[in-house]
Structure 1
């Protein structure tokens, strides 16, 4: 998302203070009222400022931009970056010389530190993303202040007076369904909210029946699961096992067809269902509207749909990937970053009236593994918990799981340099087996593949390849 401020740049640099946060909140409202032009003016000014900052403070960008003019105003003049390049140059990429990849990795491998400050000033989260390669991302106070302002703008756009009254009638209780054993974005956010009496963080690793029981006890007014888990919960509600009536369901992590959104809303007593399309690289990127489009917060984020050669793709056509520029984060500048998702930008104004590019995402399909249970009854499991478990394995560079039979998963692993493949396999097998046992799927057979993860024709590694993608939970 991008939202530009009428506040001088120097004020935005002190966004950790309460006064700066208040100014950001006000500016978010002003920018939305001003429409596309107001957002574009802010974005352009912030881009110039960020490029200058990155060249000054990041050795990586200083080298990458060495042949560019002293002042860059056009985004297309900047070279493309990606996760592999930036992670390989991590120590030079970050703008704080006290931060190193070695320290960040050690922090990320300790689940007891989830949500705790890293380096004294930052939040740290990890992701494997659509490429299956682990990334470590830092968030400074400025970015968190922007994220908060964007969340406020999102909620005021989503909720009517009636919705707000319904939430208040339920005591304002919010249920976040997140991992509790890895430094992923949802877990870090939940940790930041820990201690608030009306917010409950439920582990995504719980067996589905236990999660349903916990939600029935909590009766949340707002429910925030991943999209694929939202579908599973809708199935539980349709079967009469989940009995909650939230006013709002906020889906994250994956994309779902609008028909599934409608299904979730019907199953959960007419809940309003909305979604966000965000990333660790930009935790405030976009939010959905009633028409089912995702609106980029275009005053604080820039998205560029491009083809295989990074040439612009016109609105109405599906891109090969999308380039992301995050205008809020200065500890780890994200400039023209290949996010790896295919998107289509709406070619005409969205009927909802929300400013900012409206898009739909094709590249984040909510793959689910359907496996026969011990009694033969099909059990559908979201893949995100599996990815989270593998993302915490030290020395695992890439992974790919192929469902080769109803109850057989073939694991393709790529160890990091210097990691013993046999030791890595033992660790992966133990952690994944533990997850399957907790899901009452201990009978599933894990195969060790001799081949490395396979790259698709699109140049990406698909982390999960289910036996079928058509099974409905």
Structure 2
């Protein structure tokens, strides 16, 4: 297999069984062909059909929830073509059923994770050996190619800026760095045992060239570096690999104006529940890990299936019969999917995450997706250390938008030009009144996007009271302010 063989299972389910051996052999062939760009349409369809049947047998035989949820379904008759006849699995299902969703007892897993629980009950997300190996290979292939494109034959030191405890972040990237032979250091600046000052010292002393973090941390780290007297052009960081919230091209372009040596590339789109859905290429695009999923797009309001390309809410059916495979799982994410162009650095359709379904924002004459609002705010902007959008209702009933922006000091007249351009763009695209305020002391809630939601972190909507996500973000921001 590209970059090394997959490990054989050592205990999940039925270790050493003929069925397990058959899975690893078949998965290895399909994955090899996929990452070499040699997987034919016929072979992919044959793999998807066989794996769908295997997973449906698995969940109806071993998961109490799916035994009820799919009662009366002839799983042998379900194919990718008629998959839409099955009911959705929702986040509410996962919160209600908890361990009842699992396809097997917990001791068959290899590691336990759970969701953050910021907007609802934290749900169990254990992973078995099949889950870990088949999900991590997508990350490994992404990193192998991207690091080779940036650093050639040598491996850079990688800084992991994220929690590990009950979340997969630290374990996934630790494992992948080890497989690739890259030294890594865990320097999460929000940790009270690390903090920004120590993180920056370690980045400089250890010559850390790659940082894996949420997009907001690219800005927070720059602001902290300036506070502690660092020259951003002298720090060794050359590549930010981002995950956890939307990262638009406009955001990435702005980060490059703060960090002269660095570029931003999305590295992973996934979740605790659904594992690694897509990984990043050096082009800046995310590509779906096709051997592991069947993908559908639906209308988020009606549930109508829209196909597997275009724009809609992402629905996933997992093709690996691990400890918690999900069937027709509504992710709640709005995405755009298009076929990969010829010669793309990674195989699989390209996917762009435009925001959460719940984060759509009616503003003026339009409804904007999070990515559209961020693009409007940051298009052509340089030197922005952070921003927040405040929406108010005007006396005449119209909407007024105030964008608070933390800009690099010393820009002089450039600040006015940036502000005028942003305000004019927002007025043109939304019809709302818009103004820009330069504010070097932004609300700490802007750092909470990867913990709660992009909207809760970036938008204060005074037209209505704060929702549960906004209140949770406030609590997270309070802890952030204390620890940093």
**TM exceeds 0.5?**
yes
Contact 1:122 1:140 survives alignment (8 Å):
yes
Relative to structure 1, the CA distance from residue 70 to residue 179 in structure 2 (aligned partners, 3 Å threshold; closer, same or farther) is closer
1:171-186 alignment runs, 5 A limit = 172-179=156-163, 182-186=165-169
**1:360, CA displacement in angstroms?**
1.0
| Equivalent position of 2:98 in the other structure | 90
Distance 1:24 1:70 in 2: 21
- Distance apart, 1:323 and its partner CA: 0.6
Q: CA–CA distance in 2 between the matches of 1:202 and 1:8?
A: 32
Q: 1:59 aligns with which of 56, 64, 74?
A: 64
Q: CA deviation at 1:149?
A: 2.0
Q: How far is 1:337 from its partner?
A: 0.5
8 Å Cα contact 1:293/1:358 also seen in 2: yes
Q: CA deviation at 1:147?
A: 2.1
- Distance in 1 separating the partners of 2:204 and 2:168: 25
Give me the TM-score of the superposition, normalised by structure 1.
0.66
Encode CA deviations 1:264-321: one digit per residue, 9 max, x unaligned.
45625144734321111232211133443321111112221110222222577431x2
Q: Give the distance between the partners of 2:87 and 2:288, measured in 1 at CA.
A: 22
Two-structure CA RMSD over aligned residues (Å): 4.6
Find the counterpart in structure 2 of residue 417 from structure 1.
none
C-alpha contact 2:244 2:450 (8 A) present in aligned 1: no
Q: Deviations over 1:45-85 (max 9, x none)?
A: 21111011111111211222122224122322321011211
Partner in structure 2 of residue 201 of structure 1: 186
Equivalent in the alignment of 1:468: none
Match of 2:138 among 150, 161, 168: 150
* Post-superposition CA distance 1:90-132 (Å, at most 9, x none): 2432122x44xxxxxxxxxxxxxxxxxxx47332222248955
Q: How many residues are aligned here?
A: 385
- Please give the residue correspondences for 1:62-141 in structure 2 after superposition, counting only pairs within 5 Å: 62-71=67-76, 72-74=78-80, 75-96=83-104, 98-99=105-106, 119=107, 121-128=109-116, 134-141=122-129
- 1:30 aligns with 33
Matched, 1:299 2:291: yes
Change (3 A) 1:80 1:256: same
Q: Specify whether residues 51 and 268 from structure 1 end up closer, same or farther in structure 2 by C-alpha distance, changes over 3 A only.
A: farther
Distance 1:326 1:16, change over 3 A: farther
Shift of 1:334: 0.9
CA distance in 1, matches of 2:250, 2:6: 40
Secondary structure at the counterpart of residue 296 of structure 2: strand
Where 1:333 maps in the other structure, the secondary structure is coil
Residue equivalent to 1:360 = 352
Instruction: Give 3-state SS (helix, strand or coil) of 2:185's partner.
Output: strand
Q: Which residue matches 1:257? A: 248
Specify the SS of the correspondent of 2:241: strand
3-state SS of the aligned residue for 1:216? helix
Greater relative contact order structure (CA < 8 Å, 6+ sep) = 1
The alpha carbon displacement at 1:232 in A equals: 3.4
Equivalent residue number for residue 205 of structure 2: 217
Match of 2:398 in 1: none
TM-score, normalising length from structure 2?
Answer: 0.65
Gaps of 5+ in 2: 357-369, 375-385, 389-403, 407-438
Stretch deviating more after TM superposition (296-305 or 119-128): 119-128
Q: Using the alignment, how far apart are the partners of 1:132 and 1:386 within structure 2?
A: 16
Picking from 299, 313, 320, the partner of 2:306 is 313
SS of residue paired to 2:320 = coil
Contact 1:16–1:142 (CA under 8 A) maintained in structure 2? no
SS at 1:175 equivalent: strand
